Amino acid sequence: VHLRTAVADDEIEYQETAGHLCTIRYPIPGTDDAVLVSTTRPETMLGDTAVAVHPDDPRFKHLIGKTVTLPLTGREIPIVGDAILVDPEFGTGCVKVTPAHDPNDYQTGLRHNLPMINLMNPDGTYNENAGLYEGLDRREVRKRVVSDLEAGGLLARVEPYTNRVGLSDRSKTPIEPYLSDQWFVRMGDEPDGSAGFAQKAMDAVTSGAMKIHPERYAKSYLDWLGEKRDWCISRQLWWGHRIPIWYARCPEAELKRAFAGRDDVTWRLDEENGQWLVCALDDLPADALGDKYPLTQDPDVLDTWFSSALWPHSTLGWPEPTPELEYYYPTNVLVTSRDIITLWVARMVITGLYNLGQVPFADVYIHPKILDGFGETMSKMKGNGIDPLDIIERYGTDALRFTMVYLATETQDSRMPVANVCPHCGTLVPVKQEHMSMRTRKVTCPNCKKPFRPGGPWPAPDAELTTAKQASDKFDMGRNFANKIWNAARFLLLNLEGYTPAAIHLDGLPPEDRWILSRLSSVTQAVTGQLEAFRFSEAARSVYEFTWSEFCDWYVEMSKGRLRNPDTRPLAQRMLAGLLDAILRLAAPIMPFVAESIWQALNEAAFERGLPGPEPATESVVIAPWPAFPVEWQDPVRERRTELMKDLVKAVREIRAHYQVDSRTKLNVFVRCRAETALHLEGAAPLLELLEGAHLADDGCGPDTRKPPQSAAHVHPDFEVYVSLAGLIDVPAEIKRLEKQRGDKSKALQGTRAKLENVNFRDKAPPEVVQQQRAAVADLEKQLHVIEENLRELRQDVQ
């Protein structure tokens, strides 16, 4: 495929290609001598207009100013000295110069005022300048040139050579550099020295008018713009915005007459071609100047990035001063990928500043990328992409979105191993590397042995093979979380009968309410900060953690008893409704669909709700105000108290699980602790009852509690728990349990002691850190002591 268009440097991709390096003799007239030049593109020698050597190269210095005869053409071309083009160490030290067909040679040509001979037609065939080779395709010319040189004894040698060939991104055919007229946008500064396009776009970032997050990406933006390379914006393609230039050959008076009073039309003279270049905002009809002087529009179209650069304002109705443009421009945040910071972002800034005088957005957030399972960027070409629709169908939209946000960390790209879902039996068949790049058209299911086509971007359906859908268990997390929220909401909705709205008063609240409000206030504050700082992954983690591990795992469980008691039920309902309301608002940006559907259901059951006081709910969660709660609700002491109770419950659970005691069997629990801790654990008895089916007697918690016979122990920094297991206790197993606890604790003790024994640590570390370590040692020693005691008793039991 030949696209026959100009391409930008950034549309070229290089590929290592095995080719040949030909060394050709260029005879020096009047002598038997010749200079040797090497090239990977021998056919371009027809357009050589010089041979260059390094000006300081002793081997060739004396030749500068002389000429050589260009083989096959007989043209005499000069030998020039050029320190930029020539590396004397490389090859023969002599370089053929083909200004019309190589960018470096072009620059060399300009430096030495060399003629530029364009050999090629736009279709890649050679033109009349190629003499005998006219009309032949470039590849054919290469063959002929080589054999003709060989026949003439002018081909010194041909060696195998691997070089990097520039291929078009789009067509994957080799780029042929050649001279053509193109349209450029000048990026450099104005002739008077004032800032040009590139500089203005740089200033937008250095002045802080536009911030790039994470900050390090500002560097690629500034570095690239700093080169101020002119932007070639014309393309010889069919699809695209046409270049708004019309050509006319007429007296200027005609233009003045036809466009009198129009400030959207300008023109200037193209002296080289003796015509007017007319530029207009709106399309000009061919007969705008009358039949005598037809206007013809330039056939080229704009670079797609030029059109894209207009996106932030052209989508809002520009150039008309629409209300939308007025209201939305400049926008707030652009979210995009790092590889188009230059191609797209920089150019949006340039056109935004030029057309509207303001940057198009205040913040640019660059997200990490999802890579394929092998760590490579996904691309259509490679065929290693994943179809979001497959994921949505299998896991849900919110699952997709949540997982993506969860993975949007600050630096780390994320690999996404993908599996094909066997269309016959549903087995997940992991994608292997050899399935990539469309090489594998057919995979056999290891389970049902039937064939299918792996999922991916296939150009057309396959009549014989069903194409598999794609899956990736990375989305389990999002799906499970959506489901968790859904079920928590269901629980609440089933328990809202008789709900009455009323304000919450902090003072009368039970400890678990104080705790969850403290957590809610902290978490809401954290999520708000994380979103503002573009730390999306952290925000997702905060919402997930709070909702699942705190609200569902503990608060909802704790509320079950209260909902059964008519005295405590109304408050529990208000708390739960208010909490769910807050969770939905926090989750809405990340899981909009689940949040919205629950919001609607909640509006039916508890229209007026909220913390601390009830308010009528908004019609939709998307217009609900972002939540914020009093900082005074944050109460470290209450949080600590709840943590202690949770630890107590967990200790009992651990024992129950270890002895595999049926959950319906009631356990008797005894706690030995300091009086102060006992105070903190005051509310623990009902929780143990509710959550663990465990009984803690009124006098079972305090400094005087004694270890009951036949019991299992768990030693916590703040308390010792004993669970009576008369008839169930397995003494050797219990010894093993305690020995493991002892192992863990003494390992920690060792580490901490070692630190304290270090004089330098005691002298140089901050006192509070030293103090903390001392306390830790004391705690651990005490715990170990208790464990030892328990072990001794158990060993006596055995004997």
Residues 19-38 that bind RNA (CB under 7 A): 21, 37-38
Q: Rounded to the nearest whole angstrom, what is the least distance from the CB of residue 429 to RNA in the complex?
A: 16
CB of 488: closest distance to RNA in angstroms? 4
Q: Which of residues 610-629 bind RNA (CB under 7 A)?
A: none
Please choose, out of 298-306, 368-376, 439-447, 790-798, the segment that lies near RNA by the rule CB under 7 A.
368-376
Could you give the residue ranges of the DSSP H alpha helices within 495-635? 511-532, 536-545, 557-564, 569-587, 592-605
Instruction: Provide, rounded to whole angstroms, the least separation between the CB of residue 177 and RNA.
Output: 10
What element of type H or E holds 547?
A: none
Instruction: Pick the closer one to RNA by CB: 288 or 576.
Output: 576
Nearest CA among 88, 92, 90, 114 for reference residue 101 = 114
Minimal distance, residue 13 CB to RNA, in Å? 8
The answer to the question of residue 93 lying near RNA (CB under 7 A) is yes
Which of positions 240-269 make contact with RNA (CB under 7 A)?
A: none
Nearer to RNA, 180 or 663 (CB): 663
Q: How far apart are CA 672 and CA 249, in angstroms?
A: 103
CA distance 746 to 752: 10
Cα separation, 63 vs 58, whole angstroms: 10
Shortest separation between residue 544's beta carbon and RNA, angstroms: 8
CA 637 to chain centre: 40
**Which of positions 401-420 make contact with RNA (CB under 7 A)?**
407, 409-417
Nearer to RNA, 369 or 450 (CB): 369
The footprint of RNA on residues 668-707 (CB under 7 A) is none
Q: Which of 257, 560, 736, 782 binds RNA (CB under 7 A)?
A: 560
Q: Which of 163, 214, 434, 430 shows the shortest CA–CA distance to 341?
A: 214
Q: Which helix (H) or strand (E) holds 22?
A: strand 12-27
Which residues inside 148-187 make contact with RNA, applying CB under 7 A? 163-164
* 14 counts as binding RNA under rule CB under 7 A: yes
Which of 533/622 has CB closer to RNA?
Answer: 533
Element at 719 (helix H, strand E): strand 719-724
Three-state SS string across 380-428, please?
CCCCCCCCHHHHHHHHCHHHHHHHHHHHCCCCCCEEECCEEECCCCCCE
Min separation Cβ 640 and RNA, Å = 11
Q: Which of these ranges, 191-199, 295-303, 497-505, 552-560, lies near RNA under the rule CB under 7 A?
A: 552-560
Q: Of residues 29, 103, 616, 630, which one binds RNA by CB under 7 A?
A: 103
- C-beta of 186 vs 242, nearer to RNA: 186
Distance CA 243, CA 489 (A): 57
Cβ neighbours, 10 Å, residue 247: 15
Binders of RNA among residues 770 to 789 (CB under 7 A) are 776, 780
Sign of CA dihedral 124, 129, 132, 134: positive
Count of other CB atoms within 10 angstroms of residue 260: 8
* Interface positions, 506-525, toward RNA (CB under 7 A): none
Q: Which is nearer to RNA, 88 or 196 (CB)?
A: 88
Strands 296-297 and 245-248: antiparallel
| Given 186, 432, 505, 747, the residue binding RNA (CB under 7 A) | 747
Query: Minimal distance in Å, beta carbon 686 to RNA?
Result: 17
Cα 506 to chain centroid distance, Å, stands at 43
Neighbours of 587 (CB within 10 A): 25
Out of 256, 262, 666, 764, the residue judged to bind RNA by CB under 7 A = 764
Amino acid at 263: D
Smallest separation (angstroms) from RNA to the CB of 482: 7
Site for RNA in 648-667 (CB under 7 A): 650, 653-654, 656-658, 660, 663-664
Q: Is 89 in the site for RNA (CB under 7 A)?
A: yes
- End-to-end CA separation in angstroms for the chain: 91
Sole window of 442-450, 458-466, 536-544, 615-623 interacting with RNA (rule: CB under 7 A): 536-544
128 binds RNA (CB under 7 A): no
Round to whole Å and give the CA distance between 455 and 430. 11
Q: Shortest Cβ distance from residue 151 to RNA (Å)? A: 21
Q: For residue 698, what are its two tokens?
A: 């009124």
Rounded to whole angstroms, the Cα distance separating 251 from 238 reads: 32
Q: Least CB distance from residue 242 to RNA, whole Å?
A: 26
Q: Which of residues 310-329 bind RNA (CB under 7 A)?
A: none
